[in-house]
Every structure is written in structure tokens, then in C-alpha cells.
Structure 1
Amino acid sequence: MSELTPKQQRFVDEYLVDLNATQAAIRAGYSLRTANEQGSRLLAKASVKAAVQAKQNLLAAKMDVTQERIVDELAKIGFANMQDYMRANAEGDPYLDFSGLTREQAAALAEVTVEDFKDGRGETARDVRRVKFKLHDKRAALVDLGRHLGMFKERIEHTGANGGPIRTESRADFSWMAQLTRDERDTLRVILTRAAAAQAASAGTASNPKGGAG
């Protein structure tokens, strides 16, 4: 592998800041007018590509970022369940309960908002705390997880029938489902059904008086 010039090395360092080839080329001292072209050309260069990969591997090792950890985090989001965060009182009304929340369950939370206000006026007014929370995008996490595990392979077909223009089509390959047992298919159906239901209710809101449940 050929050594990088100082300018190319600067490009590698700058590219790892934001993964923007054009801006990295500009910051590395390449012409503003041709930065977009130069960035693409540099990333296509074997020695530059190898240097970028080597630095990314070094950073990943330093931060202990592994494929296993990424898959684990995606699974926490993809299989999060609203029942982990909500309970129901004797009347069946829902309220939030984070008292037993584990670190893994907390990883699926994207946002928690707490609002205190008074409900009513005068002597009948009461203090109310409203808690709103939102989970990370379960569907996106499940799709990313499936792709990482090779469950959603894409086929690209090029056709030019009857002298027409070449079309590019991307299709998902679900042939792997035929290899599942009946029990496995039933389990997958339950998981996807729950994921769809949880996605539809990805934001939960509950209002409770201070000192009350939740």
C-alpha cells in the first residue's frame, strides 16, 4: 500500500470528523470549486480507503464498539414493550411506573418529559404531574437488526426489454422464511404483530396527581 501524502492524510483525519467527503476535502486544503469531485476521488483511492478503515477500526477498538454490542442495542429498542413502562390501577386506567426500570429497558427510551401544573382553581385545585415518554423507532431498529443478520437480502435486476431503458429494481428476499418451522413462524408472527402495535403507540402519556401511583 502506497503511503499517503500529507494532504491526503489530512483528508483522512478530517473525513473521520463528520464523514463528509466534500467538507473534508475543503478542510484538507483542496480547491473549493472541485472539493466534491476530489472527495469522491480520494475515497475511491485504495490507499486512502485503507487508511480510513484502519482509523475507524482503531476508534472502534478504543471505544469497545463491536458488532455484538450494536446488535444488542438494536434488540433492546426493537423488542421494547410498552408494558415495561406502564401499569394499570384498579379501574384499569394506565399510569407510568419507572420504579423497576432496568438499564436495558431505559435504553429504548428516546424522550421523557415531566410537566407539573395545577388542575382546577381555588380550594379545589390539585397538583398534577404529567409524564410523557417516547420510545425509539422500533420498526427502524427491527429493520436494521434484520439486515444485520442477513434476513432482508436485496436483489438488483437489470432489464431492457424490447429495447427499452434499463430499469433497476430492488426486491426484498424472504426465501429464508420457508426454512422456519411452524412454531418459529408463529413466534415471528407474534413478534411482528407486537412490534406493529407498539409502534402505533410509541408515545405514551399519563397524568397523575403528585403522590399518586406512577
Structure 2
Amino acid sequence: MSQPEESGIERDYCAGQLSLREMAKIYGISEAAIRKRAKKHGWVRSEKTGTQVRKKGTQKAKVRTEEKMQNSTPEKVIEELHCDAVEGEDEFSIDSRKYGLSDMQWRFVNEYLIDLNRTAAYKRAGGKGEGNTAYVSASRIYRNAKVSRAINDALAARERRTQITQDEVLKLWWDIATADANQITEYRRLCCRHCWGFGFQYQWRDAVEYEEASEKAKTAKKPPPRDKGGYGFDSTLDPNPDCPRCNGAGEGRAHFHDTRDLKGAARRLFAGIKEGKFGIEVITRNQDDALKMVAQHLGMIKTKTELSGPDGGPVKTESVNMTTEEAAEFYRKMMG
């Protein structure tokens, strides 16, 4: 058994959250083997529930608060109480029964909330896969509707606990203003159908595509297509610089990233999509407006204009009719 699996068994055994039967199913070993390892390494199994542990932590927080109040001035009491409330506030509790999660899914959700890394969360939750297998298994759990709902609810609860300040708002504007739109959508120059075909002939994806094209040509009473370029066309490859059909420039294609995986500034920039007559349109927040808001906040843009007369006095107006010479003389006096 690998070291990560051994440490996972120790963690779950000592936590006392799972029964030995459930652990045996997860790690693929017998209950007797788990007991044997616990006896050999001296593991101590906790009998306390998560609720009891949280209450104990809350009680300690109260004791610390009382000690601070005895040694603090009245002006500091409110600030210290506020800090303790933030520090001692319980994290969002994932109730597996509420969301209908299995034990593995419940552990995955809690581990994912630590660093938002699905593959790492899968391994810490007891997953056995490695490399691409681990990523595929982690993605399968992550895309589960129940798991996704639990994660979104937990992240929303975390945001509600976060206090919004002017600095936070400024950071949001700055993130939008400097976000890389290529993390949402890209315009790529990729290979054409002739770039990697034999003798730069038209290349098909597979035999099925070729047969479908042949049937379509036969129905339309047109000559059948040729497959001298072979099969295996991959539209994600770069252009062949020697291709005589596209002159090495390839073909332009739009690519949209999976917005469910957007994080940080790119997530704030993304505002949705719109499907219309000409296809899909990605909607983003206005980066220029966000940059202006940052500049205004830093005092780089003046939006207030003041008009005054000589020596800062009010602007005088005359309602009498004046000739051109009188108006010029009046103007010279005003500019004095």
C-alpha cells in the first residue's frame, strides 16, 4: 500500500467520522486489516462528533474573549470582540444528508474547499487513481449535480462571511480591468484539412466521416470523394508551414473555454453568453469602465469643473446690448 493511502487510513480512523466497514469499502481492505494497522501503529480513534469539537472550540473562544475584556480598555473591547467573532465563526457545514452525498463525495467537497483543486481534493479524499486517471475521476465527481450544488452553496456562504471594504471593491475593479480575455475565449489559427494529409490531400477525421460524405455525394448524384489524404484529421493541430493550400496560415477558429472552470479575474470579467442568429456571443464586463473607476478612486481623473470670475469671484453677466468694441473691452477687463 502506498504512503498516501496509509496516511489516509490513519486520518479517517483517528477522526472517527467513518465506520470501519465504510473505510474498508473505500480503501479496498478488510476491517480486520484496519484494526491490525491501528494496533501496530498505535492509532487512537476519536469518539467525538464534529458538533462536539466545534462547541469545544467555541467555548475556548469565549474564554479568550473574557480574558481580553478584563485586560482591555473600553475603546478596544468592540474591536477585539469583532475579531474574535470572525476568528471563531464556524465554517459552512456540509450536511451529506441534505445534498444526498456519498461518503466519498462528502470528503471530496470538504477537501476541494481548501484549495479549489479537484485532483488534489480527490486524492486527499481517498481516491486511488494517479495521473490522468485521477483527473478523470476527480472531474466525474466534480461535475456531479449534487456535489456541484454543495460546493456552490459552501462558496456562497464563504463570500457572505467576507467583509467588503473599499480596498476589496478597488481590487474587484482592478481584476476586471486587467483580466486576460484569452482565458475566456480565443481566436486560434489552426491547421486546414490539407495541412497534414498525405501529399497535402484532403484529410478525413475517420472512415465514418468519409462514408457519410460518400453517401451524401451518391444521393446528390455527384462524384464520390477521394480519401488519398488518409484519416486522422485533428483540428487542434497547428498549421503545416509547408502546406500549399493555406500557405502555412491555416484557418481561423473561435475557441471558448469551459466557463465552469474560470477562476479569479477571468471569472469576474465573464458576464454570461448570448445565443443569437449568428451563433454564440460571449458577454464580458466593460474593462475600460472598470479602469476608469480605478483611476477615479486613485484621484487620477478629475470629474469636477469649476468656473469663477477674477480673483475667484462669481462670473458676472451683463444683460445690456453692447457693441463689438465694448464687448472686447469688457473681456479685457475680465481677464485683467
TM-score normalised over the length of structure 2? 0.26
Whichever of the two has the greater Rg, that structure is: 2
TM-score normalised over the length of structure 1? 0.38
Structure 1 or 2: more helix by fraction? 2
